[in-house]
Amino acid sequence: MASKLVAVVAGVGPGTGAAIARRFAAKYPIVLLARNPDNFKSLVSEINERGGKAIGISTDISSASSVQSAFGKIKEEFGNDVGLAAAVFNASGKFLKKPFLELTEEEYLSEYVVAGKGAFLFSQATLPLLLKSTERNPNHPPTLIFTGATASVKGSPQFSSFANGKFALRALSQSLAREFYPKGVHVAHAIIDGVIDIPKTKEWLKDAGPDAKINPDAIADSYWHLHTQPRSTFTQEIDIRPWVEKW
């Protein structure tokens, strides 16, 4: 009997992570990682009630032992020969805007702890399971996707902490793409350039007209599209922004 093929999403809140999870849950059992279980509890219920399969694991993505423990639980749940169809790194630190000279060391490192160290731990945990799946799902090669931001390609004033982490994440995505494409794993990076339409941003851009905020479900559709690309035709980077965004 074929081993299980599942998807995992790190950084699941009420926005993009949840939309991605729903989208991939239509095809694969899904594992949701977030530090705070409140961020995935209702989503896990929702997916399971709809006939999908989801589990949530409280995980500190920047802690090696916490990540190790999470992937131990995944194997307990789905078997030691579990493979990954897709892994999405959607975690972010605090979106911090502050004059450079007022930043504490901890504040400056706060995005890197997630986008640097966390992405490293997540990639090291998922790549072996993605590599195991290259033969099992030939039409949809195993896919590792990183969520970036405007700050992935532009260091704006007072955003040194955020840009520092997001640039580092993009570097990782490129290096992994060049190393793991030839092994059959699709590694991609998305530059989300705009405000995402989630509960937290409800009051933002109210005067910007309709559809001025990015639809998380549409991001999820694009991530799913990346997942469906055959290995002859991989996209490494996409940008995503609303029609009214200046850039």
d(CA 125, CA 45): 25
228 within 8 A of 140, measured Cβ to Cβ: yes
If the CB atoms of residues 120 and 136 are measured against a copy of itself, the closer one turns out to be 120
13-42 positions binding a copy of itself, by CB under 8 A: none
Nearest residue (CB) to a copy of itself, 48 versus 63: 63
Site string for a copy of itself, 137-176 (x = CB under 8 A): ----x---------x--xxxxxxx--xxxxxx-xxxxxxx
Close Cβ partners of 89 (under 8 Å, ≥ 6 residues apart): 10, 11, 118, 119, 122, 123, 144, 145, 146, 147, 169
**Of the candidates 112, 122, 137, 148, which one interacts with a copy of itself according to CB under 8 A?**
112
Site string for a copy of itself, 205-224 (x = CB under 8 A): ------xxxxx--xx-xx--
d(CA 94, CA 67): 20
Query: Given the structure tokens 């005067």, which residue do they identify?
Result: 207
Q: Which residue's CB is nearer to a copy of itself, number 58 or number 160? A: 160
Q: Please select the residue that binds a copy of itself; options are 37, 38, 64, 201, rule is CB under 8 A.
A: 64
The CA distance from 220 to 35, in Å, is 21
Q: What are the residue ranges of helices labelled H in 2-138?
A: 16-25, 41-49, 64-78, 105-112, 119-131
Structure tokens at 239: 């940008």
Which of the ranges 47-55, 73-81, 83-91, 102-110 carries the binding residues for a copy of itself, by CB under 8 A?
A: 102-110
231 is a site residue for a copy of itself (CB under 8 A): yes
- Least Å distance, CB 4 to a copy of itself, is 22
